[in-house]
Amino acid sequence: MTTTAKLRGGVLLRGVGKSYGTGDATVHALRDVDLDVEPGELAVVLGPSGSGKTTLLNVIGGIEAADHGRIRVAGRELTGQAPGSLSGFRRRHVGFVFQFFNLIATLTARENIEVVAELTGRGDRGRASELLAAVGLADRADAFPAQLSGGEQQRVALARALVTDPDLLLADEPTGSLDMATGRTILRLLQDTNREGLGVLMVTHNAAVAAMAHRVVTMRDGRVQSVVRQEAPVDAERVNW
Ligand X SMILES: Nc1ncnc2c1ncn2[C@@H]1O[C@H](COP(=O)(O)OP(=O)(O)OP(=O)(O)O)[C@@H](O)[C@H]1O
Which residues contact ligand X by CB under 6 A?
Answer: 20-21, 27, 29, 47, 49-55, 99
Q: If you ran DSSP here, which 8-state letter would residue 97 be given?
A: E
Part of the chain binding Mg ion (CB under 5 A), chosen from 9-17, 22-30, 50-58, 127-135: 50-58
The residue (of 54 and 218) whose beta carbon lies closer to ligand X is 54
H helices of 33-149, in order, are 53-60, 83-93, 109-120, 127-134
| Interface with Mg ion, residue 112, by CB under 5 A | no
The residue (of 58 and 153) whose beta carbon lies closer to ligand X is 58
| Interface with Mg ion, residue 55, by CB under 5 A | no
- Decide which of Mg ion, ligand X, none touches 49; Cβ closer than 5 to 8 Å per partner kind: ligand X
Q: CB 53 → Mg ion: shortest distance, Å?
A: 5
Part of the chain binding Mg ion (CB under 5 A), chosen from 92-100, 107-115, 181-189, 216-224: 92-100
The edge-to-edge listing of strands for the beta sheet with 223-229 is: 94-97, 168-172, 199-203, 42-46, 215-220, 223-229
3-state secondary structure of 125: coil
Burial zone of 73 (CB within 10 Å; 0-12 exposed, 13-18 middle, 19+ buried): buried
Q: CB 2 → Mg ion: shortest distance, Å?
A: 32
| Interface with Mg ion, residue 54, by CB under 5 A | yes
What number of other Cβ atoms are within 10 A of residue 184's Cβ? 19
Q: CB 48 → ligand X: shortest distance, Å?
A: 7
H or E stretch covering 200: strand 199-203
Closest CA to 51 of 223, 231, 240: 223
Residues in touch with Mg ion (CB under 5 A) = 53-54, 99
